[in-house]
Amino acid sequence: MKQQRKTPDAVILKLNPAIEIQLLLGPNKAWLGIGAVTVGGVPLRDGSFPLLPRLDTPEGYQYDHAFLEGVERGRGGETRVVLRLIGTPGLRQEYMDEYEQALVNVGLPREPIEDRLVLELKPASLKLGGRDWTGFSHALRFTSTKRKVHRLVMDGSWELGGSIVGNTVLSQGQCNMPVYKGAKNTVFTSVCLKTLEQYGRPQGFSYQLAPRGGLIQAFDFQYGKAGALFQYWPKFQPVSSVIESMKGSTRLRVLDEYRVELSARASTTPQQVLFTPGPVADAAARDLWWEARELAYGCIRKPFNVAPTPVMPEIRPSYTTRVVDGAVKMTVVPGVEADTREVPYAIGDHLFPRLAKAGIRRFFPEPMSESDLTVDGLRRKADAGIHGDLCCGSICATHRMLPSEFWGGMKAWRYMADKARLHGIEMGTWFSTVLSPRAAILREHPEWRMRAVNSLTWSGGYGVSSIVTMDLNHPGYFDWLLGDIRRWKEEGGLDYLFTDSWANLNMLAYNCAERMRGNLAALGRLYGEFQKLGIKAFSFEGISPFGIGDFGVIDLQGSRQAAIQGVVGQNDLGWWMGNEDMAIDICLGADRTQGRAPAVLETMLFRLMASRSGAIIHRFNLEHELPDWHVRLNRLYMQALPGMIGARRTVLPGGAGVRWDKDGHALIWAFRDMPLAAPARHVEQLTETEARDAVVMSAPVILQTGNVYRMKQ
């Protein structure tokens, strides 16, 4: 069998008998990109829409042409497609002046340039979810003697059978629907818009190129009649993407931008493209997606030795504040008003008993770290003079990641943390890697700042007067921040961290003054170090392989309610209702659920918990009470949780429930009445109290709606 066969406009590469990749060619071997891709005869993409790399340099060269120089074959189907890149100079470059005008490069030669790009292809296979997956990996290698790049983009589309119509995309994200059924008259997008109505408008974007494992999931998955398609990176590097199917289109456009340190020898980590033949039923596809997620996120955590975090019932505190004679007074429960320095004691004595009664097991208070709020919160603009500097940012404008004396300092925190543990509650704190521009440490170490393309401090979209994004690759800052958390853990007690603005303030920034380097690997090292300290649990505002997602969604109830600032209608609770199994390892902050019947909310929470997830449905009032059904489910979940950690999940067909299997034991969350499908030696119904009080079932066993059962095989 020939390894290559040439056609007038293409070269067909056969990596092995099952895998064919078409290279599209124009005149004089001009390379137009990858066309059709088939595995076992099944198309994985629309071959008429080329998949091609896009590269540029910071000083303004755009590589807009490529020519095929040769195809090098190795053993086992490994193939190197060698391309000669032609770059043309542009007038404007990536760098900006302080007024955010793109710099023009008046000294850039007008002649075209030549460099080299190699597309590396290699057969790949995998056993996952009881199925065999076959496909290939692809990676780019750029080399030059004079020029450097820091981003390499793969721009194309992926559609099982050559069309997204009839396929289903499963994509867990903060601002996109988790389940998209492909159709020509609908829209799917992973970008965050200011409002949904501004889709397609240049100034309607809040956040477009979204970090994988930050705002959107770190892999791609779709299924249909032909089978299932799974794409992931076994070795993860910073990738920001746009995934979109436009109205009227039959394609799923995927644009992946690989971000690397500025280099003349830049490369992308190989992405695996894997296919398993179908058809695949909906329930089975959800299981395969879950297996894919476990694999992809495990690959990201493994180098940093970060263990996963399970969801536990949590809540946000309610309180009222007032200013009296220049001092802030806070009421944490009715009849208990305290000065801020006494608030931790009031929380420990009066709030935690109420939380424990409601079945809450994880809590962090109003951010109590040292910040603009605690240092200068009561200063006025006039205090600095009419033309003085801004004197106060928000609680995000951190000075130190240590308990502030404004809140009673380390002593008060220690009291509160000890009380939390007495009530079985994990004690956490708000966390981020940003600082206030007024933090004293920045006067000593301005070199720790991230620098943006305009040479100013990178602000993460908040403005340089509010936030300074820090370079975690700088060992001085890394050790300083780690030292603060170590001290907080050892002296005050700390069980978990909630990381705010995970995608934008933590993952997005890269240092334009230091080889365009980003923070992702350093963040992985940081969370690995935190776990070594004994801080075992992490939650994130966003989607993260390092812990649970913890973000807000608004319950629009079919657009009967208007979108509000912060959620803009693009993270709708309705997207998750009926798809609760897609919220695994997420705690949804459900807002404005008024109008939903309690029975509907109870069913939703039960189904979320069945997939090791949850929701903050009720905003506590000062009484800090939850409905009886919510309390029951909180306690029931904690009884079931040990059987779901480290277990294999199965979504039961027909929406019957969710099953977890582990070490010869099974756990079933019943969504409807059903007989036990297979005999078991011992079956018990879990209750909301201790496991020893579980009800032992006798044959014939009928599983009843809204209950959880544990059994031995």
Burial profile 548-582: b = 16 or more Cβ within 10 angstroms, e = fewer: bbbbbbbbbbeeebebeeebbbbbbbebbbebbbb
Q: What does the pLDDT look like over 168-217, one tens digit per residue? A: 999 999 999 999 999 998 999 999 888 777 888 888 888 899 999 999 99
User: What DSSP line would sit under 300-326, residue for residue?
Assistant: HHGGGTPPP-----B-----EEEEETT
Three-class DSSP labels, 152-219: EEEEEECCHHHCCCCCEEECCECCCCCEEECCCCCCEECCEECCHHHCCCHHHEEECCEEECCCECCE
CATH code linked to domain 4-304: 2.70.98
Q: What's the CA gap between 511 and 528, in Å, rounded?
A: 22
d(CA 39, CA 31): 22
Tell the residue number behind the tokens 């009967």, with chain if given. Answer: 560
**pLDDT of the residue at 695:** 75
Structure confidence by residue, pLDDT tens digits, 657-698? 999 999 999 999 999 999 887 766 788 999 887 555 567 776
Higher pLDDT, 250 or 688: 250
Going by pLDDT thresholds of 50, 70 and 90, the confidence category of residue 114 is very high
The answer to whether 4-304 and 643-712 have equal CATH topology is no
User: Residue holding tokens 């449905």?
Assistant: 617
The secondary structure element, H or E, covering residue 266 is: strand 265-267
CA torsion sign for 605, 606, 608, 614 is positive
What SS3 class is residue 644?
A: coil
The CA distance from 366 to 321, in Å, is 12
The one-character DSSP state at 572 is: B
Judge whether residue 1 has pLDDT over 50: no
Q: Which fold has domain 643-712?
A: Immunoglobulin-like (2.60.40)
Which residues, in sequence order, are CB contacts of 422 under 8 Å at separation 6+?
352
Peptide bond into 700 cis (omega under 30): yes
Residue 12 amino acid letter? I
pLDDT of residue 296: 98
For the whole model, what pTM was predicted? 0.94
Q: What is the pLDDT of residue 563?
A: 67
Q: Where are the domains of the chain?
A: 4-304, 643-712
Which pLDDT score is estimated for 497? 98
Strands (E), 40-112: 42-43, 52-56, 61-73, 79-89, 92-96, 102-104
Rounded to whole angstroms, how far apart are CA atoms 500 and 469?
Answer: 13
Average pLDDT, the chain: 92
Q: Which among 128, 152, 172 is positioned nearest to 52, based on CA atoms? A: 152
For residues 129 and 290, give the distance between their C-alpha atoms in angstroms, rounded to a whole number.
9
Sequence-separated (6 or more) residues with CB below 8 Å from residue 539: 309, 428, 496, 497, 498, 499, 547, 548, 549, 550, 587
User: In Å, what is the CA distance from 325 to each residue of 239, 372, 378?
Assistant: 51, 20, 11
pLDDT of residue 472: 97
Q: CA-to-CA distance for 702 and 675, rounded, in angstroms? A: 4
